[in-house]
Amino acid sequence: MNSKVCIDASFFLKLVLPEDYSEEAHAVWTEWVNKRKNIYAPYLLINETHSVIRNKVYRKELTSEEGTMASAVIEEQDIIFWYSAISVKAAWDYAKKYNRPTLYDSFYMSVAEETESELWTADSRLVNSLKVEIPRVKSVMDGFP
């Protein structure tokens, strides 16, 4: 069993906001914590998740207090934030190979590859476009194996 996982922002937001599949994400996360898995993500995760929360506060989908609490929960998690020149080049190469318009998803894929981790996401478009070619891409919507 792999003792490492990589998560993207769509997965992580399910832990701090009440959304579809939040319960499944919590179950998976709890299992990882209990098994002491190393949880990786690119630094980009922090920027993306805080930006989404701020946007939800701005659009009045969350109160300011709820946004502050969600941001605090993000900061409390035990995630290994990964950056390397290799992952930057790999992200660019993934974006070219899979014809992605931006590097966001590609950064998560490159960190998963470099750390030899499964990539867990709640982004159904990402899963549908890559799951067949990249078996390490896993969806919280599919549940925990």
What CATH number is attached to the domain comprising 40? 3.40.50.1010
Range of the structural domain that residue 95 is part of: 4-142
Q: How many domains does the chain have?
A: 1
pLDDT of residue 135: 65
Q: Decide which of 89 and 49 is more confident.
A: 49
Strand 4-7 and strand 80-82: pairing? unpaired
Question: How far apart (Å, rounded) are the C-alpha atoms in residues 106 and 1?
Answer: 24
Give me the helices (H) in 17-144, please: 22-34, 44-58, 64-76, 85-97, 104-114, 124-130
pTM assigned to the model? 0.86
Question: How far apart (Å, rounded) are the C-alpha atoms in residues 136 and 113?
Answer: 8
Cα distances from 126 to residues 31, 33, 109, 131, 133, in angstroms, run 23, 25, 10, 8, 11
Question: How far apart (Å, rounded) are the C-alpha atoms in residues 26 and 24?
Answer: 5
Tens of pLDDT, residue by residue over 49-74, are 999 999 999 999 999 999 999 999 98
Is 80 exceeded by the pLDDT of residue 9? Answer: yes
Name the one residue in this structure whose structure tokens are 């899963």: 127
